[in-house]
A = this chain, B = another copy of it.
Amino acid sequence: MASIKDVAAQAGLSVATVSRVLNDHPSVSEDARRRVLAAVQTLGYRPNALARSLRTDQTRTLGLVISDVMNPYFTELARSVEEEARALGYSVIIGNADERPELQDHHVRTLLDRRIDGLLVSPTDGGSPLMLDAARAGTPMVFVDRWIPGVDVPVVRSDGQAAVRDLVAHLHRIGHRRLAIIAGPAATTTGRERVDAFRAALREHGLELPGTYIGQGDFQAGSGRRVTDGFLDLAEPPEVVFAADNLMALGALDAVRARGLRVPDDIALAAFDDIPWFVHTDPPVTAIAQPTGALGRAAVRALVDRIEGRPGASVTLPARLVVRRSCGEPVPPQSPSPVRRSTP
């Protein structure tokens, strides 16, 4: 592959001049510029990003470590992150932690070794020493969706508390009293927060959340299935299951279906995170929708702010309840389909 030296030779100039042309530095003659550009053309030269980054100490690359690529929520987040980053002149390297702390660490390490300019993380756990050290050492970092308390890093997230309250009110109005939740891992903020919000909302209606109605999941489909099975085996099964993410809701549907039961007649279902498929499931699933695209974009802006020396603020955006039929009547006039693809 042609290097800058080859271009210099071909153009009959020094590498310094070639470099100046390529970075359009002002003091270079029109003649030199033309010759360099011609040489670049004929050699098909492309600058070596590694060499450039080594010298300039910046990669114009962001690392994004997400908890699970197979989760449509994170997939959409990744898409909006890449889009916004590209608009700001950055590339993104995605690492998929698959909800496994050791994999998360692997990716953080690899990204740091590559000297990315900044890191966007949705932590799977309480934070490994590696990540905490990196944050303390001054690596620009922003938490997105989930975060780690006690670390001085901006957090871009969605607040589901009001939406959860709306959900519980909706369930209560329909007549449900025995409400259960499939929780996410206690090591994650979203895992804890959603349970807390749920419990607080129940209390407003004078309801309890007994221990047997809190199932421990891990944000993946298998755990949703397992926990739902447990609920259905109880002497007094819940009337509603609220899954703390969409994959566990998928698992819950699997479990219900495997027993030949029906939603919402035999048991009602609601989920955190709205995805396009929830419109077409049997029945359409009532869900709490996060402003995913906006979160991704805000996270990138906060991170780039930090990288470029500006403060970089935390952002919290509200989630909202989308009522469909999976919790029973009343059916709303027309449940809107979550909007994808087109960014207005």
0/1 interface trace, chain A 302-344, chain B, CB 8 Å (1 if under) = 0000000000000000000000000000000000010011100
Q: Which of A65-112 contact B (CB under 8 A)?
A: 69-70, 72, 75-76, 78-79, 82, 86, 91, 93-94, 96, 98, 106, 109-110, 112
A282 is an interface residue with CB less than 8 A from chain B: yes
Q: Which of A122-145 contact B (CB under 8 A)?
A: 133, 137
Give the contacting residue for A222; candidates B50, B280, B341; CB below 8 A: B341
Q: Does B113 lie within 8 Å of A47, measured CB to CB? A: yes
Which of A8-16, A197-205, A249-257 contacts its partner? A249-257
Q: Which B residue sits closest to A74, measured CB to CB?
A: B75
Q: Which residues of B contact A53 (CB under 8 A)?
A: 50
A5 is an interface residue with CB less than 8 A from chain B: no
Q: Does A115 lie within 8 Å of B49, measured CB to CB? A: yes
Q: Which B residue sits closest to A109, measured CB to CB?
A: B46
Give the contacting residue for A250; candidates B59, B78, B96, B280; CB below 8 A: B280
Count residues of A near B (Cβ-Cβ below 8 Å): 53
Q: Which residues of B contact A70 (CB under 8 A)?
A: 72, 75-76, 79, 340-341
Q: Which of A34-78 contact B (CB under 8 A)?
A: 44, 46-51, 53-54, 59, 69-70, 72, 75-76, 78
| Given A69-B79, A75-B70, A93-B93, residue A49 in contact with residue B253 (CB < 8 A) | no
How far, in whole Å, are A276 and B277 apart by their CA atoms in the complex? 10
A221 is an interface residue with CB less than 8 A from chain B: yes
A27 to chain B, nearest CB (A): 26
How far, in whole Å, are A50 and B53 apart by their CA atoms in the complex? 7
Q: Which B residue sits closest to A133, measured CB to CB?
A: B44
Give the contacting residue for A114; candidates B49, B79, B112; CB below 8 A: B49
Q: Does B221 lie within 8 Å of A250, measured CB to CB? A: no
Closest 6 CB pairs of A and B: A282-B282, A277-B277, A49-B113, A253-B280, A280-B281, A50-B54
Give 8 new A-B contacts, CB below 8 A, not counting A69-B78, A70-B72.
A44-B133, A49-B115, A50-B53, A51-B54, A72-B72, A222-B341, A281-B281, A282-B283
- Between A and B, 13 residue pairs with Cβ closer than 8 Å are A1-B137, A44-B133, A46-B112, A48-B113, A54-B54, A70-B72, A82-B96, A93-B93, A94-B94, A254-B279, A257-B280, A281-B281, A281-B282
